[in-house]
Structure formats: structure tokens, C-alpha cells
Structure 1
Amino acid sequence: MDLSDLRIFTAVVREGGITRAADKLNRVQSNVTTRIRQLELDLDVDLFIREGKRLHLAPAGQLLLGYAERLLALADEARASIKDPHPRGVFRLGATESTAAVRLPSAINEYSRRHPEVTLELRIGNPVTLSAAILAGEIDAALVSEPIADAPFEKIPTFEEELVIVSAAGQPPVGRKGCFPGTMIAFEHGCPYRKRLENWYASHGEMPARTVELGSYHAMLGCIVAGMGIALLPKSVLTTFPESKRLTVHRLPPGQNRSSTVLIWRKGAGSPNIEALRQILSRSRNGKA
């Protein structure tokens, strides 16, 4: 049983017979008759009571008619939705923790205002897990920090972040001789900022004696205020932390202090929902309302 069978069946019911249904569908009568017979064989029931050339709906046909009309209406709705260039439905978006906390709120607010027919779902993760989620079809797009492989994704730049190392207030500038804190505080493996901090230690011939893994920047910053260690993070995150006066911000040298955030989605899987977000982020990047 397929949709074309159901369309022929409902046409026969509405037109009151094979001949008028065939005219309506621009088919020959024998084709309509054959398709009705095949549908009955497939369902193993008689859909019509036949009295000569006259057809009356059998009880099974009456039952099928209700389902057929709903299925055909749903198929028409799905077809219209797919061809509709306007954003709609569920939009599953991923983002890193810092982007979700600092950069996304205004963009999501504008998106929801402009496109009320879209339901936004947000997943937080690192670039590795979010990239895998896109390829697995679990989310539609994500905002992640570079580097991201080009091959499976389309991507556009969205934000530029200044990266800084943060320690407790009053600590001497990190990186000077003898000033390499033994504990670094970071997200789990897969976080590009963790990798950058590990590389920073290595570039000075040092390694942290201990790494504390935490799941949020505010938890990290609280531990830093308590003197537990240092972290590398986007400077913009500090604007959301009420105890920022109890921190010391250590700037990195040019060439080591920038990070690009990009919007990525699977190649060939663009959609009106993604395009709408791309336009909002592009306007924000270019300083337009």
C-alpha cells in the first residue's frame, strides 16, 4: 500500500465510481480498476461491494477511507513544509559552553522573535562531541571553536575571541621563570582551550602536575579565586562572573591569543532554519541590527 494507491482509492469513493475517477485522475479505467484490485489483495479485504458496475463502500473500505484521508493530508503537509523557504519546526543547535553563555543569548532572542514557528533545542558540548553529533544526525548545526575539519562540514565565521590565562588576584605574571602553577583547570579532553593551555605549558618546557576537570566556566573561576590553579578561557566569559575583581588576567602574546568560533553544519544538509541563524550571526558580526 502506497500513497498513490490511497489517492486512487479516495478518488473512486469521491467520484462515485471507476469511470469518473479515471477521468479525474487522467488515467485509463483499466489502470484504476487494477490498482483497486491490487490494494484489496494487499490488504486481503474487499473495499467495495460490487453490484454490476456500481460500487458501494464495504465496512473495511469505510474504515480505510478515514485513515487514507489523514495520511494523504499529512503527506501534503509534509510536502508543503519541505518546499516552504521559511524557518519552521525543531532546530537542534549545539554550542560550546562559553558561546552559549556569552554570545548566544541575544542571537537566540532575535531568532525566536523573528521566527516564532521554530522550536530551538540547545545542546552544550565541546567541538569534538558536537561535530560527531552533527554527523550522527542528532543536531542540525553547532557553534564551535576552530580548528574544525573542512571535509564533512560547511562553515562560516561568527565570533572572534581573545583568549587569556586567569589566576587568583595578586599572583605574579604567569610564564615567568618559576611561575608555572602546578594545577591547571579545564574542561574534559576535546576542549580546544584545554589543548591550547597544555601547549602553552609545553612551549615553556613545563607540564602541570595536576589537571582539574570541571563542567562550567563559573565553577572553574570559583576554583581559581580560591587559588587552586589557572585556566585559559575567552576573556568575554569574565563579563558574566560577579567575582572578576578577585582574578588576575594574564594576556597571551599576539598570535597565541585569538580563537575563531564558526557555525558548522553537514555539507548538503543546509536548511531555512540554519540560513536564518546564519543571517542573524552575520549581521551581528558586521555590527548591524
Structure 2
Amino acid sequence: MDLKDLYIFQKVAEKGNVSKAAEALNYVQSNVTTRIQKLEEELHTPLFHRHNRGMVLTPEGRKLITYAEKIISIVNEMKKVMHDSDQPVGKLEIGTVETVIKLPFILSKYNKQYEHVDLSLTSGVTKELIDQVLHYKLDGAFVTGNHKSAHPDLVQYKAFEEELVLVTDNTPTTIEEIKQKPLLVFRSGCGYRSKLREWLRDEQVVPTKIMELGTLETILGSVYSGLGVTFIPYSAVQHHEARGLIQCHHLPEKYSKIDTLFICRKDAYQTASLEKFIETLQTCKNDTKAPLPFI
């Protein structure tokens, strides 16, 4: 079995389509098809269900993808170890939830100190970011949670403690009125959404409407226009409240306190670039700079 076959198999599984995988790998489509067929012949089992909309892993394919990801991660780790030095260089892939308000300061400080690191940032909700770190697709990620939510394969560093608040437009509004408004939330897997659901459950409230929106900017713009209410960190909106643009409504600590954590795999080799990123995070934790005025 050729290692290249596993790279191709992984990419087809990720894209769910041979042509998209070939484009991502910069391969000829027929070459990708041949490699997958060769792998299936070698393993004596079909790895994909083929249909008009693309390709989906078979049960045997799902078994193989687990091993393929481990093998590929080990090879990539080996390359990192062989090329690593005390001076951080190379690629560092970080994920983050939308509302890490101090993240621009962390990135700026890190980039100024370690300009030879190719730093990339991916945004998402907590559940999918954890999954990407577990599957070696990200070196680390900022997620929401607490010590009780730790995954056994991950190490986590507490970055910040946040207070979540209910945010409405600047029309005078009571908590009882808020319960009747549409909820503007990030997609499923978001830690803030889970906390909000917990409060609603305990209050025995069934939301009239839940609207999933993709970005913090879209959610806040929709709140300002009176579309509904959201539940996000106070640090992200306190300057808007100070300007009288919105109202923030505080809930009991049980529902409002949440940690922002930085996670990475326990078993992965910690490169100098990742080690220095964690160090930079620790030095920025107590930074008292004001929130960014344009968020």
C-alpha cells in the first residue's frame, strides 16, 4: 500500500467527490479514480458508495479513514520533528470560535515575534473545532467549555473566562419579553447556544423561533435591527452597550459563566511554533487593552 494512496483516499472522503479531490490535490481525475480502485482491490472491499451526488464512505471505508488519518498524522509529525528547531518556522493551523475578543492582539504579538511562521486561522463552532483537532486537521483551537468537558485525548489551557449576556436592541425590554423573541444563534455545536438552551429549559420556555446565522457581525446586525435576541460574551458587546446601541441582560452565573479554552492533542508532537503560540497566549491572558471598537 502506497502512502500516496492514503492521502488520495483521505481527500476523496473529505470532499465526497473525485473531481473536487483531484482539484485539491492538483491531480488528474482519472488518476484519483484509478488509485481508489487499486486501494479497493488491494483491500478486497468497496470503500465508497457511489451515487449521483458524489461518494460516501462504506462501513469498511469508515474503518480505513481512522487508520489513514493516524498514519498521515504520524508522517506529518515526523516531518515536523525532523525540521523543527528552537526558532519557530513552518505552518501553524489554529481554529477559533467567533467571539475570542482578544484574539487579534494574540495573533499580532505572535506574528511580530515569530514572523517565519505561516499562521492560518479557521473559524467554527466548538464541536467541529474539537473534531478537527482530534483528527489532526488543526494544531490547536480556541473553544468554549470547562474542565468537566475535557476530552481524554486533548490537553486544554484556560484562556479567558467570559460572561454571557442576552443582547437585544435598545428598545426597553424585560426578561419576560425576551423569552418570546426569536433567538439568533450560531449553528449547532456552539457552546453559547448550549448554555442558552440550558437556561430556556430550566425556565420551561419553548422558543418561538430559532434562526441560525453564520457570523458574529450578522448576528449583531440582526439584533440591532430588532430581528431577535442573542446570547454572547459581554466582552464582545460592552462597548456597544456603552454607546446606547443595545441592551445587555445578565443571567445567573450558572448560565452565564463560560471558559474560552485553547486545546491541542496530547499525543501530538508540540512544535516550537505551537509551544510559542501557547506562551504568547499565556502572556496575553491578563492584557487590559480595551475591546476592539469595530467588532
After TM superposition, the score normalised by the length of structure 1 is: 0.66
Conservation of the 8 A alpha-carbon contact between 2:198 and 2:255: no
What is the one-letter code of the residue matched to 2:214? G
Deviation (angstroms), 1:104: 0.8
- CA spacing shift, 1:179–1:81, aligned 2, 3 Å: closer
Deviation (angstroms), 1:152: 1.1
Tell me the equivalent position of 1:284: 284
Does structure 1 residue 163 correspond to structure 2 residue 164?
yes
Q: Secondary structure of the equivalent of 1:171?
A: coil
Tell me the equivalent position of 1:121: 120
Instruction: Give distance in 2, aligned partners of 1:279 and 1:238.
Output: 27
Instruction: Give distance in 2, aligned partners of 1:213 and 1:246.
Output: 22
Deviation (angstroms), 1:86: 2.4
Deviation (angstroms), 1:198: 1.5
Q: Kindly provide the CA deviation profile for residues 237-260 of structure 1, in whole angstroms up to 9, marking residues without a partner as x.
A: 115769962311101123322111
Conservation of the 8 A alpha-carbon contact between 2:81 and 2:271: no
Does structure 1 residue 214 correspond to structure 2 residue 213?
yes
Instruction: Give distance in 1, aligned partners of 2:159 and 2:102.
Output: 10
Tell me the equivalent position of 1:271: 271
Deviation (angstroms), 1:268: 2.1
Conservation of the 8 A alpha-carbon contact between 2:158 and 2:262: yes
Conservation of the 8 A alpha-carbon contact between 2:241 and 2:247: no
Q: Which aligned segments of 4 or more residues in structure 1 are displaced greater than 3 angstroms?
A: 77-80, 239-244, 286-289
Conservation of the 8 A alpha-carbon contact between 1:181 and 1:230: no
Conservation of the 8 A alpha-carbon contact between 1:158 and 1:281: yes
Instruction: Give distance in 2, aligned partners of 1:111 and 1:220.
Output: 29
- CA spacing shift, 1:79–1:143, aligned 2, 3 Å: closer
- CA spacing shift, 1:246–1:149, aligned 2, 3 Å: same
Conservation of the 8 A alpha-carbon contact between 1:214 and 1:220: yes
Q: Secondary structure of the equivalent of 1:274?
A: helix
Deviation (angstroms), 1:209: 1.5
Instruction: Give distance in 2, aligned partners of 1:79 and 1:93.
Output: 19
- CA spacing shift, 1:204–1:278, aligned 2, 3 Å: same
For residues 187-206 of structure 1, the aligned pairs below 5 Å read 187-206=186-205
Tell me the equivalent position of 1:29: none
Q: Percent identity?
A: 25
Instruction: Give distance in 1, aligned partners of 2:121 and 2:98.
Output: 11
- CA spacing shift, 1:244–1:228, aligned 2, 3 Å: farther
Tell me the equivalent position of 1:224: 223
Q: Which segments of 5 or more consecutive residues in structure 2 lack a partner in the other structure?
A: 1-78, 290-295
Deviation (angstroms), 1:181: 2.2
Instruction: Give distance in 2, aligned partners of 1:222 and 1:242.
Output: 14
Q: Which stretch shifts more, 241-250 or 125-134?
A: 241-250
Instruction: Give distance in 1, aligned partners of 2:288 and 2:167.
Output: 32
What is the one-letter code of the residue matched to 2:202? S
Q: Kindly provide the CA deviation profile for residues 21-53 of structure 1, in whole angstroms up to 9, marking residues without a partner as x.
A: xxxxxxxxxxxxxxxxxxxxxxxxxxxxxxxxx
Tell me the equivalent position of 2:86: 85
How many residue pairs match? The answer is 208
Tell me the equivalent position of 2:173: 172
Q: Secondary structure of the equivalent of 2:261?
A: strand
Conservation of the 8 A alpha-carbon contact between 1:238 and 1:244: no
Instruction: Give distance in 2, aligned partners of 1:221 and 1:78.
Output: 41
What is the one-letter code of the residue matched to 1:214? L
What is the one-letter code of the residue matched to 2:184? I
Conservation of the 8 A alpha-carbon contact between 2:162 and 2:235: yes
Q: Which segments of 5 or more consecutive residues in structure 1 lack a partner in the other structure?
A: 1-76
